[in-house]
Amino acid sequence: MFTNNKRWIYVAVPIFFFWFFGQIDKLGISIIQTDPGFLKDLGLTGADHNAKIGFLTFIFTVSYAISNIFWGFVIDKLGARKTAFIGITIWTITMIMGGLADSYGTFMTSRILLGIGEGIMIPVCGKLISNWFNRKEIGRAQASWISGNYLGPAIGALALSAIIASLHWHAAFFFLAFCNLLINIPLFIFLTRETPEQHPGISAKELKMIRENDSTENETVKQGFTQDFRYWVVFVGNLMASFIFYGISIWLPTYLIQAKHFERETMAGITSFAFIFALGFVLISGFLSDKTKRPNLLAVIWFGLCASFLWIAASSNSALLAGVCMALAIGTLGGIFHVTNMLTVKYSTPKTAGRAAGLMGFTNILGGFSSYIMGWMRDLAHGDFLPSIIMLIVVALIGMVVYMLSLRKESVEVAELKTNQLIL
């Protein structure tokens, strides 16, 4: 059985760790920014310090989002494997820069470069999955790397908190650089190839399975992905999801410590569970997407749940319930991002997958605005998170409505699929 399923080792494992450590590099700042020593060393004090903290994520996501488009074209020309090596090398260097930073400006420069390096992540995975997996496996294949997307921060929240408590915030960055050098780069060098045809470990039988035509493949493969209105539904929906995700994930540790007065250990635990919840929603979404063929409907449900959890957090008098609901809100976003990446591959072809994923990655730019706006709103509200949470609820409802635009078309496709299966 394993003989004809080696693609799950050669591709799924490298891209799992690719995101596992990449997300810790990206989101670890949410834990580090709660350390008083970090704030003091970089001069993050004063009446506008929350806005300055939020600006670090803003400037990262701007460079991250813009570079997604650039890398999308590079990947379609150079290949995903070589591009992954370049990107990992860049963000490893930025981790060292971050650990050596002694001023706000220097640290901000490292975050800009990190955004450029990590801009490869979505296009690389979209391209590899498009090259290596049959379209009937897209849901499960996407879940394999999105799992790393959330398991990484879940473990990273605990690991970084322990490193900072035992050593110093500088050590956290050096640790992450070491992980990329020791794990991520070797995995892409020794396991992955650009296509299964180039890999000596792939049998003819497995290659035939990968390349088997999917009779359910629709007309979107024949036309450009930019001509399909459903791609733009996903694009706008992901703008909303990115806004919420960065807003919560960057500020959750601060919210738990400063607004709900949890100890650092409890904060790390709840933050870790937030990404474990997200992993759970990814796995559920992967299963239900392949089972029901209704990913757009799932996105509507996930956005609705996200808004509900945020509303409970905003209205609850219980600190624990509020913290858990904020964590669950992040969890629902795992399901939404799984749907996003699945549909991005579905609405493109292997030839255009890099560009389609790169353009979709541009939606992360709105996440940077979220982190900055929330910091700015906190400064105006004298540290109160309530106005920011209400803003996120509204954005979640917008995302839910946007995905509803694709439900009718999706329903027709599912009905046609069932009819074809009955005929066969």
Q: State yes or no: pLDDT of 399 exceeds 90.
A: yes
- Rounded to the nearest integer, the mean pLDDT of the chain is 84
Average pLDDT on 201-223 reads 65
Q: How far apart are CA 233 and CA 231, in angstroms?
A: 5
Q: Which residue has the higher pLDDT, 295 or 421?
A: 295
Q: How far apart are CA 191 and CA 14, in angstroms?
A: 7
Q: How far apart are CA 156 and CA 17, in angstroms?
A: 13
| pLDDT score of 216 | 45
Q: How far apart are CA 23 and CA 17, in angstroms?
A: 10
Q: Is the pTM of this model over 0.85?
A: no
Tens-digit pLDDT profile for residues 356-396: 777 777 777 777 788 888 888 888 888 889 999 999 999 99
| pLDDT score of 3 | 66
Average pLDDT on 333-355 reads 79
| pLDDT score of 354 | 65
Average pLDDT on 332-344 reads 87
Q: State yes or no: pLDDT of 412 exceeds 80.
A: yes
Q: 125: closest CA among 330, 331, 345? A: 345
Distance of alpha carbon 246 from the chain centroid: 10
| pLDDT score of 394 | 96
Q: What angle do CA 171, 120, 162 make, to 5 degrees?
A: 20
| pLDDT score of 7 | 81
Q: State yes or no: pLDDT of 33 exceeds 80.
A: yes
Q: State yes or no: pLDDT of 311 exceeds 90.
A: yes
| pLDDT score of 421 | 64
Q: Which residue has the higher pLDDT, 241 or 209?
A: 241
Tens-digit pLDDT profile for residues 81-126: 889 889 899 989 999 999 999 888 899 999 999 989 988 887 888 7
